[in-house]
Chains A and B, each alone.
Chain A
Amino acid sequence: MVTLVATEWIAISVFLAGVLGFGLYLKGTITNTAELFLAGRSLPPWLQAFSTVATNLNANDFLGLAAFAYTFGIIVIGAPIGNMIAIVLATLLVIPFIRRLQAFSLGEWFNDRFDRPVGDAYDLIWTFIWMFVNMGLYIYAGALVLNTLLGWSLWVSITLVVVVGTIYTLLGGFGAVAGSDGVQFILMFIPLVLLVPISLSMVGGFSSLLEGLNDYQSTMVPAANPLGADFPFVGSTLNAVLLYLGIMALSASYWSSEAQILQRPLAARDERSAQLGYLYAAIWYALIVPVVILIPGLVAAVLFPNLETPDEAMPRLLAEALPPGLLGAAIVGLLAAVLSSVDSQLNAFQTFFTQRVYRQYFRPSSAEGHYVRVGRVVGVVFMVLTIGMAYVFSLQPLMFLFAQSILATIMPTFATLALLGGLWDRVTTKAALIGGIFGLVFSIILAFTLGHTALYPRALYTILATTIVIVVSSLLTSPNEGEVPTGFLRLMRENLDEAISPQVRRVAITVVAIGVVMFVGFVVLFDVIGGA
């Protein structure tokens, strides 16, 4: 716990008053569902990218990924690099089609590309399972930050996160989400960049960092990392290769099918803007995350080796490294990060429940104002219910592992459907249904037999097995009447510029090049120079 100075308390108070005022202002501009849920589909690429990154920068990246590096070492770099590759894939194979359809969710596109049951299954599973889990993670992660840095009890912290997050999001809708995302990104980015040299000097330099780490923590190609224990070839480099493939499988699952992340490109102005916004977020993962999140996570492993909860690694390091004043700005950035994740998930739940469940099954043709009101009421109910899920997270030793494990059970199946459906016109509705049911059952069996730590083998095996089932089933079945294939491969052959605009292509190639250079750079740094 740290003692805050007067200017830091002022900063926190100004921020809380500011977000509520901003939400209140936006409330007056909201008259229909697209404004509430997708900011009137008006986000420019830069704000979309900020918003995408900011949503992940709280629970997933800032706390979870740093804690993962703290626990498992530098091989965790596979996650941001895998994210970069996954974003490029989704940008080409999923984003243009869902944005072109003016959809509210991936499920709508599934229903268009295949037939109704496929998209409906996605929407229902997402609305009533994953969103509760994810919101529990976000609330707990936010509360943990306040608990670690300010010393407030976990329940006081949870209450604050829930109350402020709910009011802010219900008032301002997705416009408010994007606003807090922008504040968070800027306020957190500067302390994060500064944290790298300061924390490295605290640990005594890079060579001292390597000396302080375990053998498997300090190499990019560990023969035996606990994360790869459920892959074959333990003790050989091949095990690390399989682990990287598993990490990429989970990343592909997330970026091709996670509802609130896909909500960002859906809120973009147009198709090209949606693609560019997604790709800009990939630059963050390829270039920034390995340096500003993973290195501090490793430093924390050396400085505070016996933390009871590894998720506390990053807040603890911030408190030790930053001076009064800047620490206050970083705490405000963290509060914005907490809000950013909470409001994104709440907004996504409102969108799904109202547009894809209530509107579809209960009241298909009421006035727009009615849906806006329903969205606000279910938002409050959702937040109250997810407090219980936050408590479940508080019982887990590593919240990121638990959340990723549930993610690895649900997402790979739908990601396979999305990526194959976008890429290959031959995929039929019957094959999608067979593959979807198979994938979900298979991944649940794997979850029970292999356990949480085997999340990467589970994701990889599910994607591979589901792909085989879908391909074989597609070749054995005929298409339904209403299917709308994307024509992506045909268009690629006939008119590349129309399939992928030159600007999107240039940015995608740049992103991949940056990712490759970063990966090779880290291998050189940790295994060539560090191993010498």
Chain B
Amino acid sequence: MDQERPTQQEQPTEQKQIYDVVAEIFIGSMVSIMGLLVLITPLTTDMSEDSPWNPVFIDVSMGALYLIIGGYVLFRAWRRSKSGERETEN
């Protein structure tokens, strides 16, 4: 039990990275688009004035937060794919 069982399902490291990069691009894109849509909602919609908190402030701040997080995840994916390319070249 101390050794890992050899199996035909083991993948090379380079191939394994595909899930990280593709998943991060998907997650980053989705979150960024949602952030953008939340951000522009106050421009395109009448915002109710009897909301518990200022709805425009909430949409602008949370939309911006989504954009920052989405952008960061996309940046991670870009950095990871760059480092993957360098490893392949070397």
- A: residues with CB less than 8 A from B are 5-8, 10-11, 14-15, 18, 22, 25-26, 29, 32-35, 38-44, 47, 97, 100-102, 112, 175, 178-179, 182-183, 186-187, 190-191, 194, 198, 201-202, 269, 321-326, 328-329, 332, 368, 484, 486-487
Of all chain A residues, the one with the shortest Cβ separation from B9 is A34
In the assembled complex, which residues on chain A have CB atoms less than 8 Å from the CB atom of B17?
A: 42
The 6 closest A-B pairs by CB, nearest first: A325-B41, A34-B9, A323-B55, A42-B16, A182-B27, A40-B11
Contact A34 B11 (CB under 8 A): yes
Indicate whether A43 sits within 8 Å of B47 (C-beta atoms), given known contacts A10-B37, A35-B11, A102-B7. no
Smallest CB–CB gap between B52 and chain A, Å? 5
A11 CA / B45 CA spacing, docked (Å): 15
Chain B hits for A102, CB < 8 A: 4-5, 7, 9-10
User: Quick one: which of B8, B20, B42, B52 contacts A47, CB cutoff 8 A?
Assistant: B20
* Inter-chain contacts of A15 with B (CB < 8 A): 30, 34
Find chain A residues with CB under 8 A from B34 CB.
Answer: 11, 15, 187, 328-329, 332
User: Taking A323-B55, A324-B55 as contacts, is the C-beta distance between A7 and B40 under 8 angstroms?
Assistant: yes
Bound form: Cα–Cα A18–B38 in Å? 17
> Which of A6, A38, A40, A328 has most B Cβ within 10 Å?
A40
Main SS of the interface on chain A? helix
Given the interface contacts A324-B41, A328-B37, does A18 sit within 8 Å of B27 by beta carbon? no
Task: Report yes or no: B53 in contact with A201, Cβ–Cβ below 8 A.
Answer: yes
CB pair A101–B45 under 8 Å, yes or no, is no
The answer to whether A329 and B19 touch across the interface, beta carbons within 8 angstroms, is no
Which of A100, A101, A194 sits near B58, CB closer than 8 Å?
A194
User: Does B20 contact A42, Cβ atoms closer than 8 Å?
Assistant: yes
In contact, B31 and A183 (Cβ under 8 angstroms): yes
14 contacts between A and B (CB under 8 A): A5-B44, A18-B33, A22-B22, A40-B9, A42-B19, A100-B2, A102-B7, A182-B23, A182-B73, A183-B26, A186-B69, A269-B16, A322-B58, A328-B41
- Contact of B27 with A198 in the complex, beta carbons under 8 Å: no
User: Whose C-beta in chain B lies nearest to the C-beta of A322?
Assistant: B58
With contact pairs A183-B30, A324-B55 given, residues A6 and B19 touching in the complex (Cβ less than 8 Å): no
Q: Which residues of B contact A368 (CB under 8 A)?
A: 8
Check B29 for interface membership: any CB of A closer than 8 A. Answer: yes
Do A190 and B5 touch across chains, with their CB atoms under 8 A apart? no
Inter-chain contact A14/B33, CB cutoff 8 Å? yes
CA distance A14 to B36 in the complex (A): 12
Residues of A within 8 A of B58 (CB): 194, 322-323, 326
Chain B residues lying within 8 Å of A6, measured Cβ to Cβ, are 44-45
Chain A residues with Cβ below 8 Å from B7 are 34, 102
Q: Specify the chain A residue showing the minimal Cβ separation from B80.
A: A44
Check A7/B44 contact, CB under 8 A, given A182-B23, A323-B59. yes
